[in-house]
């Protein structure tokens, strides 16, 4: 099993280039199901999750080729097929094939994703919306089976804004009869990127990235030729690295408009930002100030940045309260950070973090994508050597992170145990 070994305590400097957004690339790859032909997608990060999504599309009969950051997906031979349990279990975002498959082929069969490490993560809101559009849904032997000769446009109200739910239903609605209105839809930039990508194929979607999305059904779409937005969570992770290590980093290819809540909090704790012609320059403070955060749907503070921000609070000058309101089990990094010397108490969805002067490198275990990112931030800031095990989690979501950190002067190595 490969491990990351980080010797911390170094200040980093130089330039880092942000890759395309995982959570925009995955739904946009499933949008390729909606049309036969040759789809070109640019700025696609090199990640295990992208490989898993490619395998899923191949299971449906597509061919997928990568040339650097460009994916060519040929869907001429794509037809109805099931999304098997192995792929859905490896990556929940496989459920994004449900809407496109159903609307294109009149049926879809997708393994039901079970609970996952960060929470129960049901897909009831995806299914309720499809039923409201006229689909017959059944659950058989661990699979969701959806059938509808023709989906019908209707008004849908999401009880809670769901990112992949909004994306799934937006894709289902592109071929529905008439207009579909998605109320209380998720406003994440990745949802807007999918709407933009679908519109570039000929869909008629208004309001992508807003709380009300209106989709007018069309009868056909043309293949994609689209470039994905930069990854705001990777950007936020590098801001956290600069913040935790008193470093001076120029972040290129990022979209700071997508990071308002994160940048505001980072400023509050003492991180300095300069907008430069080449990118965003981030300078970590000598002393990190404590601050409270509450994770919220976009444009609030993202749950995907909670773990990384906690490391900064663990090194701050006071006491911080971190409330996780999106997922019920997203504090798995806490015991690992405690082993590194962080003083953190948790009570259900609230963590109280008392800043300490230093963290110490020890062996730790990565438990999910963002928890592993927090361990990298902590390892770079810590005194001594941190050994991170189960790093496939990081490879699911971060494109060559150790190369990027090495180029900034960080001491990080991947070793095969
Ligand atoms: N929810 C329901 N029913 C549903 C759908 C969601 O109750 O049918 C609840 C969830 O349990 C959760 C809340 O609604 O409490 C929000 O979940 P959402 O559906 O928005 O999450 P998701 O679509 O499964 C995406 C990202 C996650 C990110 C969340 C929140 C992708 C592929 N995944 O998940 O990304 O944390 O939105 O922003 O877009 C990651 O990249 O590490 C990651 C976990």
Active site residues: 116
The protein residue whose alpha carbon is closest to atom 20 in ligand 1 is: 162
179-183 and 212-216 as β-strands: parallel, antiparallel, unpaired? antiparallel
The protein residue whose alpha carbon is closest to atom 7 in ligand 1 is: 122
**CA-CA distances (angstroms) from residue 348 to 155, 158, 249, 321, 324?**
35, 25, 35, 13, 9
Contact 44, 227 (CB under 8 A): no
The SS3 call for residue 215 is strand
For a substitution probing ligand 1, which of 114, 163, 302, 349 has the most ligand atoms within 8 Å of its CB? Answer: 163
**Nearest atom in ligand 1 to 128's CA:** 8
Task: Measure 361 CA to ligand 1 centroid, in angstroms.
Answer: 32
Return d(Cα 88, Cα 241) in angstroms, integer. Answer: 32
Task: Kindly give the confidence (pLDDT) of every residue in the chain, 417 residues in length, as a single tens digit, with 9 standing for 90 and above.
Answer: 899 999 999 999 999 999 999 999 999 999 999 999 999 999 999 999 999 999 999 999 999 999 999 999 999 999 999 999 999 999 999 999 999 999 999 999 999 886 677 877 899 999 999 999 999 999 999 999 999 999 999 999 999 999 999 999 999 999 999 999 999 999 999 999 999 999 999 999 999 999 999 999 999 999 999 999 999 999 999 999 999 999 999 999 999 999 999 999 999 999 999 999 999 999 999 999 999 999 999 999 999 999 999 999 999 999 999 999 999 999 999 999 999 999 999 999 999 999 999 999 999 999 999 999 999 999 999 999 999 999 999 999 999 999 999 999 999 999 987
CA atoms within 13 A on the CB side of 270: 19
Judge if the beta carbon of residue 160 lies within 6 A of ligand 1. yes
The protein residue whose alpha carbon is closest to atom 28 in ligand 1 is: 304
pTM over 0.85: yes
For a substitution probing ligand 1, which of 94, 170, 233, 326 has the most ligand atoms within 8 Å of its CB? Answer: 326
The SS3 call for residue 252 is strand
Task: Measure 231 CA to ligand 1 centroid, in angstroms.
Answer: 16
- Tokens 């994703």 belong to 113
**Structure tokens that stand for 65 in this block:** 């080729």
Counting every residue written for the chain, the total comes to: 417
The protein residue whose alpha carbon is closest to atom 14 in ligand 1 is: 162
Contact 302, 331 (CB under 8 A): no
Return d(Cα 208, Cα 19) in angstroms, integer. Answer: 22
For a substitution probing ligand 1, which of 25, 164, 233 has the most ligand atoms within 8 Å of its CB? Answer: 164
Residue 29 C-alpha from the chain's centroid:
14
**Nearest atom in ligand 1 to 93's CA:** 32
Return d(Cα 236, Cα 231) in angstroms, integer. Answer: 9
């Amino acid at each position: 099993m490969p491990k990351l070994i980080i010797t911390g305590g170094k200040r980093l400097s130089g330039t880092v280039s942000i890759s395309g957004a995982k959570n925009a690339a995955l739904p946009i790859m499933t949008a390729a199901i909606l049309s036969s032909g040759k789809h070109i997608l640019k700025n696609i990060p090199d990640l295990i999750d992208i490989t898993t999504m490619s395998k899923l599309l191949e299971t449906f009969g597509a061919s997928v080729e990568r040339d650097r950051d460009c994916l060519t997906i040929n869907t001429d031979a794509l037809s109805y097929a099931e999304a098997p349990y192995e792929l859905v279990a490896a990556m929940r975002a496989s459920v994004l094939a449900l809407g496109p498959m159903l609307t294109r082929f009149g049926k879809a069969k997708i393994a039901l994703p079970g609970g996952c490490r960060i929470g129960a993560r049901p897909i009831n809101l995806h299914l309720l919306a499809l039923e409201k559009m006229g689909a017959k849904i059944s659950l058989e032997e661990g699979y969701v089976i959806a059938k509808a000769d023709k989906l019908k446009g209707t008004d849908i109200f999401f009880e809670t804004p769901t990112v992949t739910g909004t994306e799934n239903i937006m894709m289902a609605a592109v071929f529905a009869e008439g207009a579909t209105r998605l109320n209380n839809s998720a406003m994440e930039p990745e949802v807007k990127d999918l709407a933009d990508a679908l519109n570039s194929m000929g869909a008629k979607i208004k309001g992508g990235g807003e709380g009300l999305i209106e989709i007018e059904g069309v009868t056909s779409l043309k293949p994609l030729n689209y470039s994905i937005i930069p990854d705001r969570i990777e950007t936020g992770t590098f801001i956290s690295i600069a913040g935790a290590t008193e470093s001076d980093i120029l972040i290129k290819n990022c979209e700071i408009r997508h990071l308002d809540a994160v940048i505001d909090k980072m400023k509050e704790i003492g991180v300095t930002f300069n907008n430069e012609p080449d990118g965003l320059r981030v300078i970590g403070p000598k002393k990190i100030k404590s601050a409270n955060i509450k994770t919220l749907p976009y444009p609030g503070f993202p749950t995907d940045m909670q773990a990384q921000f906690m490391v900064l609070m663990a090194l701050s000058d006071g006491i911080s309260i971190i409330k996780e309101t999106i997922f019920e089990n997203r504090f798995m990094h806490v015991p690992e950070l405690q082993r590194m010397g962080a003083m953190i108490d948790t009570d259900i969805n609230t963590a109280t973090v008392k800043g300490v002067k230093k963290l110490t490198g020890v062996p730790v275990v990565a438990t999910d994508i963002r928890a592993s990112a927090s361990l990298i931030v902590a390892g770079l800031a810590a005194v001594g050597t941190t050994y991170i095990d189960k790093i496939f989690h990081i490879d699911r979501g971060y494109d060559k992170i150790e190369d990027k950190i090495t180029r900034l002067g960080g001491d990080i190595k991947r070793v095969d145990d």
